Structure 1
Amino acid sequence: MKSVTTLAGLAAVGQALTLPPVSLPPLIPDIPGVTTPLNDLSPALPILQVPTPAEPSPPFEASDIKPKKIGYFWTGAGDKRHKDFLATYSLDDDTFGTLLWVTDVPSSGNDPHHLGPSLDGKTLIGGGLLSLLKTQDTAFYFDTTNPYRPTFKKSNRGIFSSITDEIRAKPDGGFYITYMGSAVGTSPGRLVETDADFNIIHEWPEVTDVESTLNILDEQFNPHGLSIDWERKNILTSDFVEPVTILHPSTGIKRANTLRLWDLDTKKILNTITIPDGGGIQDVKHIPGNPEGAALATAVHLGQVWIIYPERLDQHGKPGVAELLYDLGPKARDTTAIYTDITQDGRFIYLTLTTADHIAALDISDLNNVKRLDNPDEDQPTIGPHYIKVTPDQKHIVVTDYFVQTGALGLINTPADFKALYIDILDDGSLSFNRSIDFDREFANRGGAKPHSSVVFDLTDPDHPLYY
């Protein structure tokens, strides 16, 4: 049985086990006269685990086939003594579900979270949701120059932030990444930026930006969703939950009701946009081709989709207005998570309702007349759907049936069947369930596996490969 301890006792435990000392920064950056008093109001610290090394990885049977469509799944082992890993599979029709390769990373029990590709397809980045529990790195980078044999490249962590979530590639290399919590999982989190060599160069807002720092301290700042409009030069982040409150000791999960609108060039926060009683604004995505640059956001407690207009002015003359677009009905209320993806033509949005075991589909081609394409009362072959991605050819969606299970350490343990679903998109935008990969069966020698997210490479046209 693994030992656990609070942060205050970690040094003593480390000495007893001859472990290196751990030094973490303040929960809130120290700006004299601005943030100093807030450090005295910080909540109880999370439970930490002793960072024991992972066990040697069991063997796997690789395949030498070279499919045109490749699925990468960022995965934790069911037995947390084993390493976290990237599983590479064929998604071609004739070889679907054939394992191509397994790439281990030097972490375990990290609860691998979101995964994203660089624009050139040569690098993947995967984040760790629970890295702080064993004081491990929070972001892991893979070299996909050979897409059939990814290799582990490097890892790193923020100074002021932890709990990696959404990822967006920068046009000139590197990434923007939402880190939902501070270095020990409290509020405020940060928007993290890396350079083309994947070194962390900024954690926005920076401590010297007093105005923006006051903005994120004024109301809970735990960014999860992330969407960037490169043409209109704005960023939207959505605040979900304060991560430390899902872990013991906790008096209850603290959910947010806000989004932040940023200026892309300066990384200044232009406005805080509130969805009243939203109860966790998990996801936000710009609608491709929308003439106003609008975005869609999900309010988990309400079970609703809201539309965000970044360029409309609110009652205070600030940019950024939110309006209710669609209510998903009573079965979508308090479903723990509602994550989305939108087709590149801006016609359809797909939404996972995690604890409702359901994937919803909406036709948003006419925002004044949104049409629901799924039957909310239908029993679908999915348990705990979460991460969802439309494939590059826009003909399928990939869904992974695992959200979060903190075990005895926390308050969130959502049911899951640990499958990756490959679902057909029909001509009218509705869904037809087709094939799946059973990770529990595939990785039984690791105690099963928990696939949280995916990236799809489409190499059908060698001159125009697609990475998404």
Structure 2
Amino acid sequence: MRSGLVGFALLGHLVGFLASATPLTGGNSTKRSPLDISLPPLIPLIPGVTEPLSENAIPLPILQLPTPPLPSEPFTPSQLRPKKIGYFWTGAGDNKHADFLATYSLDDDTFGTLIDITDVPSSGNSPHHLGVSTDGKTLVGGGLLSLLKTQDTAFYWDVSDPYRPKFAHSNRGILSSIVDEIRAKPDGGFFITYMGSAVGTSPGRLIETDASGHILHEWPEDVGGTLNILGEQFSPHGLTIDFEKNIGLTSDFVVPLSILKPTLGIQRANTLRLWNIKSRTIISTITIPAGEGIQDVKFIPGNKESAALATAVGLGQVWIIYPFRKDVHGKQGVAEPLYDLGPAARKSMAIYSDISDDGKLAYFTITLGNHVAALDISDLNNVKRLDDPDVVQPIIGPHYVKISPDKKNLLVIGYFVQAGDISVLNTPGDFKAHWLDILDDGSIQFNRTIDFEQTFTTSRGGARPHSVVIFDLTDPKNPVYY
């Protein structure tokens, strides 16, 4: 009954907001676009009144009570100015305190020093992926479960001062929700995959924003593209773009609503979409048979055929996508198996990846297999595994992975998703950021960790770091944001 009332309240807010929204009428207009909305809290923060409501709210079947976050404990920022910085998009462990951006030093001598904490004005978002603008001044992170509390789903921070991030604003789309992968546009703004519809079903959308983070479009908008995503499950998670070659790939993972109880089972996809980036239209659908969730896809830097690597979670395999080749029927885009990651990777729920900027090394996190795999892909006809798949690594639930800008380290986060009693998706994690050394041959060696659970146990009921952006300011004239 209460979840129905919450849904009704959301509908009322949304209808009222859209009724007052005015479309953009020109390039210099400051009027709000209906594609860029931000819903006010359904239950505003009233000190001394709403705290008990937040602390005692019980899980509802799907929609959750839209309670404001509990007040955060005071924090004194560090005066340290490291050259290497890690920004971690992190959820409060109790789902009651505010979710936050944690800024840490990644320098050798001060590694793991907490520099600053920047709250967002909501809780229970289940922070997901994080991205950075081309100029390094803006971060954007998504909430996997923001929709369930009728909250905005994308959060933006101003990092013009890299040591003092400031929360800028949040927003949400009209047609889509469940923010996933983020890619910066060269001229400012972002492309972002939203894995689900506005109610968490299929189809999702490919979102485009301007440099200020305001939503411009929810693609596809053409008839052919709309029929394409309505005809076959469109739940885009992975995203990779080659702006010079005018192509992009999105990979379809799972229908978000199907991870919530009651469910007949998680609905996994076997497809990727090949895009014409200039026209923002879908060229073709590429299928990986029995892939059971194509979580991630990334172009191989420098590859002459613009090939990309895609992770087929059900198969536990890496596939290679050739976007300009045609199949026997003349359809553009061909998928071929490249490498089997072994038994520990099959049905591992999540396999995420990163590829070195010279296109020679690739790293894969096998979430339920508790393993990070390393491949030498310098010769795609003779891929070599650089890790021992039988060695027990000191990590639980590895998911998000990034190669450091100087290519000396690999940053892996030991946490994927724990959606709680309302969900069938609760993967084990150690809630640590693991700093691995990349050895001369490309293999990896575990080194140091940042323990989020230990740091935030008393202040926020623990912490759930999901993703990271790395700044390397070693050379002030040539900063690197990744």
Residues 46, 294 of structure 1: alpha-carbon distance in 2 compared, 3 angstrom cutoff? farther
Kept in 2, the 8 Å contact 1:179–1:192? The answer is yes
Amino acid at match of 1:463: K
Kept in 2, the 8 Å contact 1:255–1:279? The answer is yes
Q: 1:302 — aligned with what?
A: 315
CA distance in 1, matches of 2:255, 2:116: 35
CA distance in 2, matches of 1:182, 1:342: 30
Amino acid at match of 1:219: E
In the alignment, which of 178, 181, 189 is matched to residue 174 of structure 1?
189
Q: 2:238 — aligned with what?
A: 225
Q: 2:180 — aligned with what?
A: 165
Q: 2:119 — aligned with what?
A: 104
Q: 1:88 — aligned with what?
A: 103
Amino acid at match of 1:465: P
Q: In the alignment, is residue 341 of structure 1 matched against residue 354 of structure 2?
A: yes
CA distance in 1, matches of 2:472, 2:7: 48
Kept in 2, the 8 Å contact 1:5–1:47? The answer is no
CA distance in 2, matches of 1:11, 1:168: 32
Q: 2:249 — aligned with what?
A: 236
Q: In the alignment, is residue 262 of structure 1 matched against residue 280 of structure 2?
A: no
Query: Within 5 A, what are the aligned runs for 1:324-335?
Result: 324-335=337-348
Kept in 2, the 8 Å contact 1:61–1:99? The answer is no
CA distance in 1, matches of 2:2, 2:262: 11
In the alignment, which of 214, 224, 232 is matched to residue 199 of structure 1?
214
Q: 2:381 — aligned with what?
A: 368
Amino acid at match of 1:157: R
SS of alignment partner, residue 136 of structure 2: coil
Kept in 1, the 8 Å contact 2:61–2:422? The answer is no
CA distance in 1, matches of 2:62, 2:15: 14
Amino acid at match of 1:317: G
Q: 2:54 — aligned with what?
A: none
In the alignment, which of 84, 107, 117 is matched to residue 69 of structure 1?
84
Compute the displacement of 1:198 (Å).
1.1
CA distance in 2, matches of 1:125, 1:92: 23
Compute the displacement of 1:60 (Å).
2.6
SS of alignment partner, residue 212 of structure 1: helix
CA distance in 1, matches of 2:164, 2:142: 20
Q: 1:447 — aligned with what?
A: 461
Compute the displacement of 1:21 (Å).
3.6
Runs of 4+ in 1 over 4 A off after TM superposition: none
C-alpha distance after superposition, 1:255-311 (max 9, x if no partner): 000000000100110000000000000000000000000000000000000000000
CA distance in 2, matches of 1:61, 1:179: 35
C-alpha distance after superposition, 1:18-61 (max 9, x if no partner): x9944489xxxxxxxxxxxxxxxxxxx97101101111111234
Compute the displacement of 1:11 (Å).
5.0
SS of alignment partner, residue 148 of structure 1: coil
Kept in 2, the 8 Å contact 1:47–1:249? The answer is no
Kept in 1, the 8 Å contact 2:7–2:63? The answer is no
Compute the displacement of 1:425 (Å).
0.4
Kept in 2, the 8 Å contact 1:46–1:184? The answer is no
Amino acid at match of 1:327: D
Compute the displacement of 1:9 (Å).
4.2
Amino acid at match of 2:291: G
CA distance in 1, matches of 2:480, 2:310: 26
CA distance in 1, matches of 2:362, 2:371: 14
SS of alignment partner, residue 356 of structure 1: coil
Q: 1:416 — aligned with what?
A: 429
Kept in 1, the 8 Å contact 2:182–2:193? The answer is yes
Q: Which moved more, 1:53-62 or 1:373-382?
A: 53-62
Amino acid at match of 1:422: W
Q: In the alignment, is residue 380 of structure 1 matched against residue 393 of structure 2?
A: yes
C-alpha distance after superposition, 1:186-211 (max 9, x if no partner): 000000000112110000002xx111
Compute the displacement of 1:314 (Å).
1.4
In the alignment, which of 183, 187, 210 is matched to residue 223 of structure 2?
210
SS of alignment partner, residue 106 of structure 1: coil
Amino acid at match of 2:198: A
Compute the displacement of 1:228 (Å).
0.1
Kept in 2, the 8 Å contact 1:131–1:137? The answer is yes
CA distance in 1, matches of 2:15, 2:115: 39
Q: Structure 1: where are the runs of 5+ without partners?
A: 26-44
Query: Within 5 A, what are the aligned runs for 1:286-325?
Result: 286-325=299-338
In the alignment, which of 157, 171, 184 is matched to residue 199 of structure 2?
184
CA distance in 2, matches of 1:293, 1:134: 41
CA distance in 1, matches of 2:197, 2:61: 12
Compute the displacement of 1:230 (Å).
1.2
Kept in 2, the 8 Å contact 1:277–1:301? The answer is yes
Q: Which moved more, 1:46-55 or 1:217-226?
A: 46-55
Compute the displacement of 1:254 (Å).
0.2
Kept in 1, the 8 Å contact 2:355–2:363? The answer is yes
CA distance in 2, matches of 1:182, 1:257: 18
- TM-score, structure 2 length as denominator? 0.89
Aligned length: 438
SS of alignment partner, residue 321 of structure 2: strand
C-alpha distance after superposition, 1:3-28 (max 9, x if no partner): x854x44356x5xxxx9944489xxx
Amino acid at match of 1:267: R
In the alignment, which of 6, 9, 15 is matched to residue 10 of structure 1?
6
Compute the displacement of 1:217 (Å).
1.2
Amino acid at match of 1:254: Q
Q: 2:445 — aligned with what?
A: 432
Amino acid at match of 1:226: L
Q: Structure 2: where are the runs of 5+ without partners?
A: 17-59
CA distance in 1, matches of 2:329, 2:230: 20
CA distance in 2, matches of 1:22, 1:356: 43
CA distance in 1, matches of 2:123, 2:12: 19
